[in-house]
């Protein structure tokens, strides 16, 4: 239907070609000559003489015509422009008048569009914040992340690269670190970055308040804080610069406050709270180890140097360093300079964020489906109105309005509607995407997306609105302009366009069934996820994460704190058992995966999930021991290495797992525990290897405390910490809250797809209602005749509802087939539910059937009340 | 194009054709031939515009927006293109007339003095 010539005809506003112009000029000249000849003959000249004189007086007709034609083209162009402008003004004025004249229709149309366009724009502004928005640095194109085969680089390697490279004007190192800010009440945990003094120079950013430290500064007792910390911790104190604060027990002077949403070096959305200089002289931080990768590095390219050239130079430096220090691993040779913008910013974290991307993509699909349903709805409404306006259109055509002109006029009306809907949608989107930041505020780390309206979002919304207008407006407009004049003027209408409306309703029901089916799957999956037994019992368990912060000899300090604190906790009233781990299962805060080497060199090396524990952890979580023993306090450094495996790994290792020695890590297996979920609720249980915390002390010990009084124990723990480690800010919460993150995808999916599904059902019901009421109005005469010859009310109702049932049945069939077939898309998000889940599909059928019935019942009853006499008399 | 005989008609100065057309149209809408006749008749044949040039000027003025054109029926029931002054054309005519008056006054002063 959308042939190319149609489009061309639609937008060819001028009706006159160059040949037309030429013909007019010839005619004008001819008229002049004829008149002159006539006059001269009246003065007495004969035909030939008169013609000769007229031609002589006229001069060079050919050249004159050429010159005229040039002006003629200019004139046509100007006319074309003024005509477009005036037609557009006329049509949009007319469109606005129509909006005012039929407020019900317009409100429904604009609301539909606002919801559909708003949903899409909201998703797009999230994608925009993640991918398209330039990173908040000065000239981000001139920045490069230096990836040394792994994302983290040792201090020594950083220094060597920074001093040898000529491709960079400056190279900065930074490292994330948790740090505790002392306040009047409890200490507060901040997400800090330890950075080299040139960090802000390299990024090309300036403070909003005060002055950041600069290249060459040597003070290490200074700190730059984020806008968020400034607002939440220092109540936006304008005189904050120069104030002294205590971080991890050390005093720092606040130098500056960064602008809002400055995030240091982090993927979009993830924020940092403060930045302080690395103290290269501080002992016990492993800075002197060649292979201790701790820092990420970022460089400012020298003018004119590309990322590729920088990479080439970095490769040379990497090769030199490897030659000088043979202990540097081979992957170091793959050192390269990467962009910091767009997709590249996710390098390294892409794998962890993949579900997020997939989820946003899925939401986009859902929002797109709602938009499609909205378009179908509006197209249906417009088709209906086109019929209602048949007479008006016929009159216009009869008065000589061109059909192209008419299509344009009707399209402009759609455009006016779409623009109004788009504007409302933009506001809705702003609110919707704002919800994201509200939701993100509940995550265990600072997250805030930069969702401010920018030209990209604006262009997207306007483009979408225009495309929407064409999609829902073009076919009805073409239909309307193709009416037959004579029957239309005589107030008769054909039934041909009904087929198109019916097809639209089938499409709507199909898409709506698809959305509802997916919503159902998410809901079922959520239901299952909550019911899934993770293998441990989170209820009644308190988790408390402690981090000593950036202190020397951290591992040993941590270990002694744990050894001191755990027995004290065990003696507290109400406490049943206590254990420390380095990772909270199902809390998405971290995971440890590595391959173990068996004694048998021919066996393959299985991947295992790891955790590091103190004695009592399994008891605290209610994970039963199957065989062997739990860890003991004397499983510490110096004692023989031991490990406990889960049943899955025990099966893998074969009979007699207890007592088996692994080649790497060098441990003897002393116990087997029951299986439990490790990272996500939907995973199949992976082999797990637990090692004693005291033999492999982690950075942040996490206490798991089974207690009969969560609040009381939390209070007692804080009091105990104030005495033992006053600078540490503990992160204490019930384990159920920490684990709730695991069901978040299913929860968010259920909320979003449920919302979209309800919306779609509403729109589809509106579509059905519109179609059926319209059909009833059209078939008044037929129904009147049927009643006159004896059809009763039930007969009439079943006639009307039966029509709807056919449409609904067709739509359902198509929608559910697609839902099941495309269910694979949801694989990563739904747990233990098949895309063909009979309960879900049955529910969708019931819901769609009920809503179609409800939508068609009103018009059907109206049809049943038709007075046969009145309709027949109207003839 | 043949040169006209001296004494018979005056060769027109550049730019005066525009003024003549605008002035002719001040009397009301007219087609090209009647403009040509009016110029010839009202100057007693002293001023005559070469017709090809007249039409070029008409189309140029139309492109500049000083006059408008429309097809209509002539006195002898033939299709003819009628021109008419636009608001911009009226303004243009006023300025050109004023400029000509100043120019002519200055020229006369100069000629009379000697």
pLDDT score recorded for residue B6 = 40
Distance from CA of B9 to the nearest CA of A (A): 12
Please list the alpha-helical segments (H only) found in A140-263.
155-164, 199-203, 227-233
A198: phi then psi, degrees, rounded to nearest 5: -85, 5
* Distant-in-sequence, close-in-space partners of B107: CB < 8 Å, separation ≥ 6: none
Q: Mean pLDDT over residues A732-744, rounded?
A: 81
Kindly determine whether residue A64 and residue B65, on different chains, have CB atoms separated by under 8 Å: no
Buried/exposed A764-789: b ≥16 CB within 10 Å, e otherwise: bbbbbbbbbbbbbeebbeebbebbee
A33: nearest CA in chain B? B33
Extract the tokens encoding A787.
Answer: 């009643």
- Closest Cβ opposite residue B33 in set A27, A31, A63: A31
User: What residues of chain A lie within 8 A of the CB of B1, using their CB?
Assistant: 59-60
pLDDT score recorded for residue A350 = 57
B79: phi then psi, degrees, rounded to nearest 5: -70, 125
CB of B62 within 8 Å of a chain A CB? The answer is yes
The mean of the pLDDT values for chain A is: 83
Q: Is the pLDDT of residue A177 over 90?
A: no
Helix, strand or coil, per DSSP, at residue B2:
coil
Confidence of residue A486 (pLDDT cuts 50, 70, 90): low
Kindly determine whether residue B59 and residue A72, on different chains, have CB atoms separated by under 8 Å: yes
CB of A35 within 8 Å of a chain B CB? The answer is yes
Q: Mean pLDDT over residues A659-672, rounded?
A: 90
Interface mutation target, options A21, A39, A59, chain B, most CBs of B under 10 Å: A59
Confidence of residue B3 (pLDDT cuts 50, 70, 90): very low
* Distant-in-sequence, close-in-space partners of A33: CB < 8 Å, separation ≥ 6: A51, A54, A55, A58
Closest CA to A155 of A194, A192, A191: A194
CB A412 within 8 A of CB A108: no
User: What residues of chain B lie within 8 A of the CB of A36, using their CB?
Assistant: 33, 51
A547: phi then psi, degrees, rounded to nearest 5: -140, 125
pLDDT in tens, B38-81: 888 888 777 777 888 889 899 989 988 899 888 888 888 888 99
Tally of CB atoms within 10 A around A570: 14
User: What residues of chain A lie within 8 A of the CB of B32, using their CB?
Assistant: 28, 31-32
pLDDT score recorded for residue A166 = 92
pLDDT score recorded for residue A754 = 79
Extract the tokens encoding A215.
Answer: 């290249």
A64: nearest CA in chain B? B52
CA A582 – CA A589 distance, rounded (Å)? 10
Confidence of residue A3 (pLDDT cuts 50, 70, 90): very low
User: What residues of chain B lie within 8 A of the CB of A72, using their CB?
Assistant: 59, 63
Buried/exposed B76-108: b ≥16 CB within 10 Å, e otherwise: eeeebbbbebbeebeebbeebeeeeeeeeeeee
C-alpha separations of A672 from A653, A656, A657, A691, A697 in Å:
11, 11, 8, 12, 22
Angle (CA) B24 B27 B31, round 5°: 60
CB A457 within 8 A of CB A125: yes
Helix, strand or coil, per DSSP, at residue A93:
helix
Give me the residue label for tokens 């020229």: B107
User: What residues of chain B lie within 8 A of the CB of A80, using their CB?
Assistant: none
Extract the tokens encoding B8.
Answer: 């018979």
CB A416 within 8 A of CB A110: no
Q: Mean pLDDT over residues A241-254, rounded?
A: 90
Kindly determine whether residue A27 and residue B2, on different chains, have CB atoms separated by under 8 Å: no
Q: Is the pLDDT of residue A161 over 80?
A: yes
CB A34 within 8 A of CB A44: no
List, as ranges, residues 4-33 from B with C-beta within 8 Å of A: 31-33
pLDDT in tens, A15-67: 567 788 888 888 999 999 999 999 999 988 898 999 998 888 888 888 888 88
Who has greater pLDDT, A390 or A433?
A433
pLDDT score recorded for residue A353 = 64
CB of A61 within 8 Å of a chain B CB? The answer is yes
pLDDT in tens, A273-326: 999 998 887 766 778 888 878 888 999 999 999 999 999 999 999 999 999 998
CA B58 – CA B39 distance, rounded (Å)? 14
pLDDT in tens, A608-635: 999 999 999 999 999 999 999 999 999 9
Closest CA to A664 of A600, A727, A596, A758: A596
A177: phi then psi, degrees, rounded to nearest 5: -150, 140
Beta bridge partners of B55: none
CB of A101 within 8 Å of a chain B CB? The answer is no
Q: What is the torsion angle, in degrees rounded to the nearest 10, for the CA atoms of residue A839, residue A841, residue A847 and residue A848?
A: -170
CB A782 within 8 A of CB A498: no
Who has greater pLDDT, A132 or A352?
A132
Kindly determine whether residue B52 and residue A75, on different chains, have CB atoms separated by under 8 Å: no
Interface mutation target, options B30, B55, B71, chain A, most CBs of A under 10 Å: B55
Lowest mean pLDDT among A382-396, A404-418, A760-774: A382-396
Extract the tokens encoding A262.
Answer: 């400055």
pLDDT score recorded for residue B13 = 63
Who has greater pLDDT, A345 or A730?
A730
Distance from CA of A19 to the nearest CA of B (A): 16
pLDDT score recorded for residue B2 = 40
CB A643 within 8 A of CB A662: yes
Buried/exposed A352-388: b ≥16 CB within 10 Å, e otherwise: ebeebebbbebbbbbbebbbbbbbbbbbbbbbbbbbe
ipTM, two decimals, is 0.86
pLDDT in tens, A853-874: 888 888 888 888 877 777 666 5
pLDDT score recorded for residue B4 = 42
pLDDT score recorded for residue A2 = 43
CB A311 within 8 A of CB A336: yes
Extract the tokens encoding A2.
Answer: 């959308």
Confidence of residue A202 (pLDDT cuts 50, 70, 90): very high
CA A270 – CA A348 distance, rounded (Å)? 14
pLDDT in tens, A64-100: 888 888 888 888 888 888 877 887 787 778 777 777 7
Q: What is the CA radius of gyration of chain A?
A: 38
pLDDT in tens, A799-857: 888 888 888 899 999 989 988 888 777 776 776 778 888 888 898 899 888 888 888 88
Give the H/E segment covering residue A645: strand A642-646
* Distant-in-sequence, close-in-space partners of A448: CB < 8 Å, separation ≥ 6: A228, A261, A269, A271, A437, A440, A441
CB A764 within 8 A of CB A512: yes
Give me the residue label for tokens 């509106």: A766
Give the H/E segment covering residue A691: strand A688-692
pLDDT score recorded for residue A489 = 59
Q: Mean pLDDT over residues A113-119, rounded?
A: 87
A447: phi then psi, degrees, rounded to nearest 5: -135, 130
pLDDT in tens, A505-562: 888 888 888 888 888 888 888 787 777 888 999 999 999 988 777 677 777 888 888 9
β-bridge pairing A702-707 and A541-545: antiparallel
Phi-psi category of A635—alpha, beta or left, where left has phi over 0 and alpha has psi -120 to 50? Answer: beta
CA A868 – CA A780 distance, rounded (Å)? 9
Lowest mean pLDDT among A440-449, A698-707, B48-57: A440-449
């Amino acid at each position: 239907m959308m042939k190319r010539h149609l489009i061309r005809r639609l937008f060819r506003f001028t009706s006159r070609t160059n040949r037309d112009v030429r013909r007019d000029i010839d005619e004008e000249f001819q008229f002049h000559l004829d008149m002159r000849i006539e006059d001269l003959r009246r003065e007495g000249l004969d035909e030939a003489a008169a013609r000769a004189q007229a031609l002589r007086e006229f001069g060079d007709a050919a050249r004159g015509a050429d010159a005229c034609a040039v002006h003629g083209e200019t004139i046509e162009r100007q006319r074309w422009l003024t005509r477009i402008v005036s037609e557009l003004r006329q049509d949009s004025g007319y469109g606005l008048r129509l909006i005012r004249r039929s407020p019900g229709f317009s409100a429904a149309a604009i609301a539909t569009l606002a919801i559909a366009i708003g949903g899409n724009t909201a998703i797009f502004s999230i994608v925009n914040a993640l991918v398209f928005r330039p990173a908040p640095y000065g000239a981000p194109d001139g920045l490069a992340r230096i990836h040394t085969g792994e994302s983290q680089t040792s201090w020594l390697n950083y220094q060597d690269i920074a001093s040898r490279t000529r491709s960079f004007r400056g190279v900065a190192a930074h490292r994330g670190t948790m740090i505790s800010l002392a306040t009047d009440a409890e200490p507060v945990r901040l997400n800090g970055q330890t950075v080299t003094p040139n960090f802000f120079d390299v990024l090309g950013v300036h403070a909003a308040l005060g002055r950041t430290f600069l290249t060459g500064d040597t003070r290490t007792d200074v700190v730059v804080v984020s806008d968020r910390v400034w607002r939440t911790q220092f109540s936006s104190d304008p005189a904050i610069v120069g104030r002294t604060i205590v971080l991890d027990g050390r005093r720092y002077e606040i130098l500056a406050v960064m602008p809002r949403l400055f995030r240091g070096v982090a993927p979009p959305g993830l924020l940092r709270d403060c930045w302080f200089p690395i103290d290269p002289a501080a002992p016990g931080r492993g800075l002197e180890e060649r292979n201790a990768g701790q820092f990420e590095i970022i460089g400012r390219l020298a003018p004119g140097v590309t990322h590729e050239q920088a990479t080439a130079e970095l490769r040379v430096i990497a090769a030199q360093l490897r030659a000088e220090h043979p202990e540097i691993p081979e992957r170091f040779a793959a050192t390269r300079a990467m962009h910091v913008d767009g997709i590249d910013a996710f390098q390294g974290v892409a794998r962890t964020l993949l579900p997020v991307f997939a989820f946003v993509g899925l939401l986009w699909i859902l929002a797109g489906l709602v938009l499609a349903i909205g378009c179908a709805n509006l197209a249906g409404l417009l088709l209906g109105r086109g019929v209602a306006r048949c007479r008006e259109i016929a009159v216009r055509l009869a008065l000589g309005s061109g059909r192209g002109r008419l299509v344009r006029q009707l399209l402009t009306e759609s455009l006016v509607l779409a623009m109004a809907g788009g504007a409302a949608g933009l506001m809705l989107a702003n609110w919707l995407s704002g919800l994201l930041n509200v939701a993100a505020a509940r995550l265990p780390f600072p997250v805030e997306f930069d969702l401010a309206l920018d030209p990209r979002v604006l262009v997207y919304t306007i483009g979408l609105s225009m495309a929407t207008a064409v999609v829902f407006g073009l076919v009805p407009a073409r239909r309307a302009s193709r009416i037959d004049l004579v029957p239309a003027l005589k107030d008769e209408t054909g039934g041909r366009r009904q087929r198109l409306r019916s097809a639209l309703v089938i499409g709507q029901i199909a898409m709506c069934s698809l959305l509802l089916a997916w919503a159902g799957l998410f809901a079922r999956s959520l239901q299952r996820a909550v019911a899934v037994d993770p293998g441990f019992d989170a209820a009644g368990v308190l988790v408390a994460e402690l981090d000593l912060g950036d202190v020397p000899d951290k591992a040993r300090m941590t270990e002694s704190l744990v050894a001191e604190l755990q027995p004290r906790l065990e003696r507290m009233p109400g406490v049943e058992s206590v254990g420390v781990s380095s990772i909270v299962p199902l809390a998405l805060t971290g995971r440890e995966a590595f391959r173990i080497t068996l004694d048998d060199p021919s066996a393959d090396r299985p991947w295992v999930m790891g955790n590091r524990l103190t004695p009592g952890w399994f008891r605290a979580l209610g994970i039963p021991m199957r065989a062997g023993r739990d860890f003991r306090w004397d499983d510490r450094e110096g004692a023989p290495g031991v490990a406990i495996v889960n049943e899955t790994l025990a099966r893998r290792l074969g009979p007699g797992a207890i007592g088996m020695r692994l080649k790497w890590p060098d441990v003897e297996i002393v116990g087997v525990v029951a299986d439990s979920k490790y990272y996500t609720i939907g995973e199949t249980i992976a082999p797990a290897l637990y090692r004693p915390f005291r033999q492999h002390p982690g950075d942040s010990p996490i206490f798991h405390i089974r207690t009969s009084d969560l609040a009381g124990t939390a209070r007692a723990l804080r009091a105990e910490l104030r005495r033992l480690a006053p600078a540490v800010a503990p992160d204490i919460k019930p384990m159920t809250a920490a684990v709730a993150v695991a069901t978040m995808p299913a929860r968010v999916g259920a909320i979003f797809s449920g919302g979209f599904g309800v919306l779609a059902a509403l729109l589809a019901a509106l579509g059905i209602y519109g179609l059926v009421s319209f059909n009833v109005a059209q078939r008044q005469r037929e129904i009147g005749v049927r009643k006159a010859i004896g059809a009763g009310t039930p007969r009439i109702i079943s006639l009307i509802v039966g029509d709807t049932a056919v449409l609904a049945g067709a739509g359902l069939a198509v929608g559910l087939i697609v839902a099941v077939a495309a269910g694979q898309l949801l694989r990563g998000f739904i747990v233990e539910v098949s895309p063909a889940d009979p309960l879900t599909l049955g529910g969708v059928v019931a819901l769609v059937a009920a809503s179609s019935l409800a939508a068609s019942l009103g018009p059907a009853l109206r049809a049943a009340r038709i007075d046969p006499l009145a309709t027949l008399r109207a003839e | 194009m043949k040169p006209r005989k001296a004494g018979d008609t005056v060769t027109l100065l550049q730019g005066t054709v525009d003024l003549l057309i605008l002035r002719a149209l001040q009397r009301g809408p007219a087609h090209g031939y009647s403009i040509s006749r009016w110029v010839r008749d009202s100057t007693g044949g002293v001023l005559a515009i070469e017709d090809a040039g007249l039409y070029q000027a008409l189309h140029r003025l139309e492109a500049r927006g000083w006059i408008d054109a429309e097809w209509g029926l002539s006195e002898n029931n033939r299709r003819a293109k009628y021109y008419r002054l636009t608001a911009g054309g009226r303004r243009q005519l006023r300025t050109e007339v004023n400029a000509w008056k100043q120019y002519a006054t200055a020229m006369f002063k100069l000629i009379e003095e000697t």
